[in-house]
Amino acid sequence: MKIAVLSGKGGTGKTTVSASLAASIGHCQYIDCDVEEPNGALFLNPQITDASPVNVLVPYVDEQRCDGCGACAKACRFNAIAVVKGKVLIFPEVCHHCGACVIACPKDAITEVEREIGVVEADSESSFLQGRLNIGEPITIPIIHQLKRLTRDDVPVVMDCSPGASCTVVQTIDGCDYCILVTEPTPFGLHDLKIAVSLVRKMDIPFGVVINKAMPEDQSIQTYCKQESIVVLMEIPYMREIAESYSNGMLPVQMNEDLRNRFVQLYDSIKEGAAS
């Protein structure tokens, strides 16, 4: 069973929830798909034994064959190739690795070479995976795809998404069996939760909500979920001790047995829900 944890708004506790869930299930695979700012490792402390570069293909022009016709520049919809005065200039960070230039070249002068944009790291059993984007690189998707290719099917899988609802999140949750949406009881939290709900509904993935830093005085999330017939899977109360231990890299389930049991129950209820 593949469970993705997303949030809409950043800082609601996505990684806290995903890492807590993984720690509580025990025998599972945790995949940190927040490749811009991966944090799962800070809490789960895996022993990373394997690191593989994530490469993308960018064009390389054989100057002997090239006659400066400019067909490649015209074909590229991302302006990653410029041809001026017969010279070909390539802008690899802008390249979308689509191969249109290769197809367009009438002289077969373009081949493709690999360029590294990030890395995928794993522990020895592949029970912990994380992707990390290189600084200055704009595009994350190829790393997400590489992580997805390493998904196991013999154990439950928990995927931590990046914040927001952009194409990175879309690619991460695509193919998952269930989505946990983590939110907080603030107007920002509710606003962004609605965005995340629209996304999982558009992608037709079953989902439920976890309310983190819950406060009895604010029931705005609960009210919204009731109106929309969305199941509230769990409420984690706001507690300064949780915030403080989190700041030191400790998960709430590591200091609170009751919470740990609740996360186990959360997983069981998701499994049963999926089965019904």
List of residues contacting other proteins (CB under 8 A):
7-12, 15, 36-37, 39, 42, 73, 75, 77-80, 82-85, 87, 89, 91, 93-100, 103-104, 133, 135-140, 162-168, 170, 185-188, 191-192, 195, 198-199, 202-203, 215, 217-218, 220, 243-244, 246-249
What would the two tokens of residue 130 be?
Answer: 């994380």
Contact 237, 259 (CB under 8 A): no
Q: Closest separation between CB of residue 180 and other proteins, Å?
A: 16
User: Comparing C-alpha atoms, which of 183, 172, 115 is closest to residue 147?
Assistant: 172
Give the chain's end-to-end CA distance (angstroms, integer): 14
CA dist 78 and 59 (Å) reads 13
Q: Which long-range contacts (CB under 8 A, 24 or more apart) does 196-201 make?
A: 196/6, 196/7, 196/8, 196/165, 197/228, 197/230, 198/165, 199/6, 199/165, 199/169, 199/170, 199/173, 200/6, 200/173
CB atoms under 10 Å from CB of 154, counted, come to: 7
Instruction: State which residue, 5 or 100, has the beta carbon closest to other proteins.
Output: 100
**151 three-class SS:** coil
Q: Closest separation between CB of residue 245 and other proteins, Å?
A: 10
Contact 186, 30 (CB under 8 A): no
Instruction: State which residue, 103 or 274, has the beta carbon closest to other proteins.
Output: 103
271-to-117, 130, 179 alpha-carbon distances in Å: 36, 24, 12
Instruction: State which residue, 20 or 140, has the beta carbon closest to other proteins.
Output: 140
Instruction: State which residue, 136 or 275, has the beta carbon closest to other proteins.
Output: 136
Q: Closest separation between CB of residue 50 and other proteins, Å?
A: 21
Instruction: State which residue, 139 or 150, has the beta carbon closest to other proteins.
Output: 139
Q: Closest separation between CB of residue 61 and other proteins, Å?
A: 13
Q: Closest separation between CB of residue 48 and other proteins, Å?
A: 15
User: Comparing C-alpha atoms, which of 223, 242, 222 is closest to residue 233?
Assistant: 222
Instruction: State which residue, 79 or 265, has the beta carbon closest to other proteins.
Output: 79
Q: Closest separation between CB of residue 99 and other proteins, Å?
A: 6
Q: Closest separation between CB of residue 195 and other proteins, Å?
A: 6
Instruction: State which residue, 63 or 268, has the beta carbon closest to other proteins.
Output: 63
